[in-house]
Structure 1
């Protein structure tokens, strides 16, 4: 499945959440990650985030069946390069 994760967490936890998500997904821009994951990896990501955040934080996870079409207006912050 393809996931997009968007988060708004306390500044004291931003780097922990970002570092954790970088191990699993592609960083798109500030507080946004995306990528293809297995169901098992998705569960690990979700549980890992639950351990890192507090009740005042917000994490939104979008689950999609396949990679969505994406249009970037302006400069893309962190482009995904095609690897052959």
Structure 2
């Protein structure tokens, strides 16, 4: 248990926060929005789970909305103010 806590919390979280610091908020948001997609893909391949067509369409709409918000959001908001 102590080894798992050391690796998972101390080393893993330290690396995660260092990565997020280098990526910036937009790319970090994109990475976290991909969590559900990766979980669904791993569930399909590892556990033979399946999604109905409505669930698949709904998840695609939500994921595309997150992508759109991240890619086309406001950039340099302080530069545009007068």
Task: Provide TM-score, normalisation by structure 2.
Answer: 0.35
| Structure ranking higher in helix proportion | 2
Task: Answer 1 or 2: which has greater strand percent.
Answer: 1
Pick the structure with greater CA Rg.
2
